Structure 1
Amino acid sequence: MANAKAVDVPPSPGSVKTGTGGNPWLVLLAVSLGVIMVMLDGTVVGIANPSIQVDLKASLSDLQWVTSGYLLALAVFLITAGKLGDLFGHKRVFLIGVGGFALSSVGIGFSAELADVIPGVTPVGALIGLRVLQGLFGALLQPAALALLRTAFPGEKLNQAMGAWGAIIGLSSAAGPIVGGVLVERASWETVFFINAPVGVVALVMGIFLIKDSRAQTMARIDWLGVVLLSGAMFSLVWTIIKAPEWGWGDSTTLTFVAVFVVLIAAFIIWQSVAQRIGRQPLVPLSLFRNVSISIGTLLMMMVAFAMFGAMFFLGFFFQGVHGLSPLEAGLRMLPMSAGMIFASPLAGMALGRFGPKITMATGLLVTAFSMFLMSRLSIDASFIESGIPFLLLAFGMSPVFVGATEIIVGNAPVQLTGVAGGVQQSAMQVGGALGTAILGAVMAAEISSTLPGHLGPAAQAIPAAQLAGLEKAAAFGAAPPGVAQPIVDAVHQSFMDGMSVAFLVSTVIAVLTAALTLFVKAGRKTENQPVHVG
């Protein structure tokens, strides 16, 4: 860029060495255990949802909030959490996040028992509330983990570390349905959360002994006004995305929340500029986004999460509702993605180092688009091979984008702002996931409502409006109410397939359009003791 500039960021002893005598790979192992809990929980719920619905008598809206409440808490608090790590030490914030996440996970497993002792709280209400708390602690540990990696690895090895990091994150996300299927089928849905307790204990012990703390020594205070404005803006945005399908996109309530978001985000941007001019430490230095690569990397992270979370949400209902598979069988159908992630992410790291981000990420997005198109063509009786090929392609398509966007955002940020950059990166992922689940869900619901009467045929005229609305709601899960005739079951299944097809076609178009953005990114300078490119 014409106005690019370099800022010298000499590494301090505490910011580039670890408590392991200089071995950064042990730091990677320690922080990965904490983040594995978060990533597993991001996808495992899709497999557990049918069991949760039966056990807690949850509605469709309740199940949406089990996922959306978690994503909402992550999205609102991630950037703030990154700033806390910069100020008070990334190790301390990481350990608090790990411990809180494990404890809230145990609480989720006891949701029914907690509802018995807390007046006015239902079991599903307790579950949703604890999922929000779980998301807040997850927000603490994720940006701190990325910042610890950035300070642990020498510049020339950061790309390799990001490749390994991407493999761990991707495998954890993809393994969620399989792990969840085994635990739900062999034990109960509560165990998918109880398992976080031993993992959290191991992560805490390793973190205490293996990680040496680092922080941005020049940061002096928290920009509390910035925290309030940004958190309020992100809350309004994500809340609107989640609730608009229920309210209606043109409803006055939806438009009010959109207006609140616009006002708050404008006030935040103005305040950040003012704070920097008067010598205050802004929550998010806007200079980060003067670097086009950081801005585009943030958008790319949103888009790949849009596709990933959308795929996980719909395919769980497809396998268990339409196909009638067990939780374990449904998880095994997603095995090609798990296996693909093992190889795809390290290869993506190497490809980024050899070919650069433009070619590598553009190729990944085009592969992602092709896999989404294949998913849009799935039939009701799709075999393991027919569903497995798109999953395998999706693993090889998403990995270059995930690894590349992470490297671009964190690698282009100055070392003293790695916590903030990590928060931006992770927040973009959660907002993208909420967008994918909400927008594709709205597209799918509209298509189901449009096509179900046609699939029912003349019988639709004899079905009462309330019962037809109930069929539409059931079709969103891919399962007809018990006791209905087989032709109605077939119509419900076919309308679900129509909705899923349109949703994946929308993802296909988005992936193709996003590929063009990769032509404008460049890798950050990651050589140790050299200036960091910040735009």
Structure 2
Amino acid sequence: MSQAPAATLGAPQPPKEPAGRRGHGHPWLTLLAVALGVIMVMLDGTVVAIANPAIAADLGASIQELQWVTSGYLLALAVFLITAGKLGDLFGHKAVFMVGIAGFALTSLAIGLSSGVGWLIAFRVLQGLFGALLQPAALALLRTAFPAEKLNMAIGIWGAAIGVSSAAGPIVGGLLVEHVSWQSVFYINVPVGLIAFAVGIWVLKESKAGLLSRIDIPGVILLSGAMFCLIWAIIKAPEWGWADGATLGFFAGALVLTVLFVVWQMFAKEPLLPLGLFRSASLSIGTVLMVLVAFSMFGAMFFLTFFLQNVHGLSPLESGLRMMPMSAGMIVASPLAGFLIGKLGPKIPIAGGMLITATAMFLLSRLDIDAGYGQTALPFVLLAFGLSPVMVGATEIIVGNAAPELSGVAGGLQQSAMQVGGSLGTAVLGAVMASKVGDVLPGHFTALKLPAPPPEQIEAMKQPVSMGIAPITPQMNLPAPVAELITKAAHLSFMDGLHLAFTVSTVVAVVAAALGLIVKAGRKSEDAVQVHI
């Protein structure tokens, strides 16, 4: 059945923009404009990991609070991405993109000015909401600006820029934390945001859907509540106990809210996430695949900075440089992955990439306490070449297998799956780490001829030891040899927890590789790239 023109439905028309302005709507300048905004978001997603130890020392943050600095940001991104795409339909993708840039820069400034970890977490969540405005709008603007025959190239370059910026985060973070302050990690977004805003105002051409949309407010509330209950239960379980009533209550709340969300989506006139998307087995598997990839990557990498700085004794800059092989690898791996997927389809490159990722995670699970540059360089390079095919192939699997009229919603689903997976990975592996540390710490004490701490003391020690910090304060006035033995016991316990976390990530990557063999390429028709975000 044909659709009525937007004007007959009372939908607001796109704003008139000056015609003939130099560079206005130019495809490659549009790519530059949206890349500046999205790179800011992706860089911020990884640069904070290097700053975590400095934030903990300056603000007295616990490991659970540090997890929320990361998880709160990623979760806000995940929950709001699909809603953000619908806001683009209502108000125009350029308008939403510009609001996202301005809000992201302003919340970055507020984070840097925060004097307590509570305010920092709150502004990180708000920053994640503004970041979510940028990603669906950016893809919609690209699809509007580029002709069909050049769109894949543009998205490939855009994806490579995102991958490189994510990998460059540790180096940028190391430079800023070591030579300026942890606050500068966030302040840097202000000038970048100003440049992106100026370029966007001048270059971007407005685009919006022809039909007036509605925001599924109940759906947003239900999905947000379900994700909050789930992540909060996982993070607090090591402290409360997995069988504690509060833990089980939050898990039950997550389950109930998820069921209510699914039921609501079945009857909502314009659902937040149309359930018809999941009639495609490849799209459903691809979504699960994205969750597993992000779980393995973000969850495991969360603890590497603690290893490099608190256990291995490297400075923030040295930690960033230690991760440079992954950054350099991304520059080569991203375009290569795009080429291979274009020739072979997504199945083989994605499955092979996840096996390479599993190999990298296995090597990292074998790190010893004195691991040098050579022992970490190989797994970092393997991570770059393993993860790139999955990132580049995500559009092929999820968006390509969606119905044309739902391609934009599918794009939001893809990004949401990645952010949810990252949040879950950080939370679950954090719980695994804390549990393992509590189990092995008494044994390391007795093996070093130290008296085993009582259970209540072990419970208090788990938090600092899970960050690679020896549970020693100046007030203890311990003899130097005793302090060294306690530090060694703490570091050995941390390494046991790190090894288990990377082992779990290895298993997750192998499962993802198996799922990669089931998916199939999306449609190649021009209809498959229509924008209805």
TM-score, normalization by structure 2: 0.89
Question: Aligned partners of 1:209 and 1:532: how far apart in 2?
Answer: 25
Q: Pick the aligned partner of 1:399 from 384, 388, 391.
A: 388
Q: Which amino acid aligns with 1:471?
A: M
Question: Aligned partners of 2:285 and 2:279: how far apart in 1?
Answer: 11
Q: Pick the aligned partner of 2:111 from 95, 108, 112.
A: 108
- The residue number in structure 2 matching 1:343 is 332
Cα 1:170/1:531, change in 2 over 3 Å: closer
- The residue number in structure 1 matching 2:33 is 30
- The residue number in structure 2 matching 1:119 is none
Residue 533 of structure 1, CA deviation: 13
- Superposition RMSD in Å: 2.6
Q: Provide Cα deviations, 1:24-64, integer angstroms capped at 9, x if missing partner.
A: 33222211111112112111121111211222222233222
Question: Aligned partners of 1:485 and 1:21: how far apart in 2?
Answer: 64
Q: Which amino acid aligns with 1:360?
A: P
Is structure 2 residue 465 aligned with structure 1 residue 475? yes
Residue 418 of structure 1, CA deviation: 4.3
Question: Aligned partners of 1:103 and 1:362: how far apart in 2?
Answer: 40
Residue 409 of structure 1, CA deviation: 2.1
- The residue number in structure 2 matching 1:522 is 520
Question: Aligned partners of 1:289 and 1:23: how far apart in 2?
Answer: 36
Residue 462 of structure 1, CA deviation: 5.0
Q: Which amino acid aligns with 2:325?
A: P
Q: Provide Cα deviations, 1:83-109, integer angstroms capped at 9, x if missing partner.
A: 212332221111111100000001111
Does the 8 A contact of 1:151 with 1:415 survive in 2?
Answer: no
- The residue number in structure 1 matching 2:203 is 210
Does the 8 A contact of 2:235 with 2:430 survive in 1?
Answer: no
Residues 338-347 or 472-481, more deviating: 472-481
Does the 8 A contact of 1:98 with 1:141 survive in 2?
Answer: yes
Does the 8 A contact of 2:443 with 2:452 survive in 1?
Answer: no
Residues 141-150 or 361-370, more deviating: 141-150
- The residue number in structure 2 matching 1:421 is 410
- The residue number in structure 2 matching 1:373 is 362
- The residue number in structure 1 matching 2:73 is 70
Question: Aligned partners of 1:334 and 1:531: how far apart in 2?
Answer: 36
Question: Aligned partners of 2:254 and 2:390: how far apart in 1?
Answer: 28
Please show how residues 79-118 of structure 1 align to structure 2 within 5 Å.
Answer: 79-112=82-115
Gaps of 5+ in 2: 4-13, 15-19, 473-477
Is structure 2 residue 50 aligned with structure 1 residue 47? yes
Does the 8 A contact of 1:333 with 1:387 survive in 2?
Answer: yes
SS of corresponding position for 1:520: coil
Cα 1:465/1:332, change in 2 over 3 Å: same
Gaps of 5+ in 1: 1-6, 9-13, 113-122
Cα 1:226/1:479, change in 2 over 3 Å: closer
Q: Provide Cα deviations, 1:480-512, integer angstroms capped at 9, x if missing partner.
A: 134552122111111111111111111111111
Question: Aligned partners of 2:505 and 2:462: how far apart in 1?
Answer: 23
Cα 1:416/1:167, change in 2 over 3 Å: same
Question: Aligned partners of 1:457 and 1:309: how far apart in 2?
Answer: 34
% of aligned pairs identical? 65
- The residue number in structure 2 matching 1:184 is 177
- The residue number in structure 2 matching 1:117 is none
Question: Aligned partners of 1:25 and 1:296: how far apart in 2?
Answer: 33
- The residue number in structure 2 matching 1:274 is 267
Q: Pick the aligned partner of 2:498 from 480, 500, 519.
A: 500
Q: Which amino acid aligns with 2:465?
A: A
Question: Aligned partners of 1:309 and 1:175: how far apart in 2?
Answer: 15
Please show how residues 236-275 of structure 1 align to structure 2 within 5 Å.
Answer: 236-275=229-268
Q: RCO higher in 1 or 2 (8 Å CA, sep ≥ 6)? A: 1
- The residue number in structure 2 matching 1:143 is 136
- The residue number in structure 2 matching 1:436 is 425
Please show how residues 125-136 of structure 1 align to structure 2 within 5 Å.
Answer: 125-136=118-129
Does the 8 A contact of 1:89 with 1:213 survive in 2?
Answer: yes
Does the 8 A contact of 2:99 with 2:130 survive in 1?
Answer: yes
Question: Aligned partners of 1:82 and 1:531: how far apart in 2?
Answer: 15
Does the 8 A contact of 2:178 with 2:315 survive in 1?
Answer: yes
Does the 8 A contact of 1:323 with 1:380 survive in 2?
Answer: yes
Cα 1:24/1:496, change in 2 over 3 Å: same
TM-score, normalization by structure 1: 0.89
Cα 1:89/1:240, change in 2 over 3 Å: farther
SS of corresponding position for 1:111: coil
- Runs of 4+ displaced beyond 4 Å: 18-23, 529-534
Q: Which amino acid aligns with 1:351?
A: L
Residue 321 of structure 1, CA deviation: 1.0
Cα 1:165/1:110, change in 2 over 3 Å: same
Does the 8 A contact of 1:147 with 1:418 survive in 2?
Answer: no
- The residue number in structure 2 matching 1:120 is none
**How many equivalent pairs are there?**
509
Cα 1:106/1:22, change in 2 over 3 Å: closer
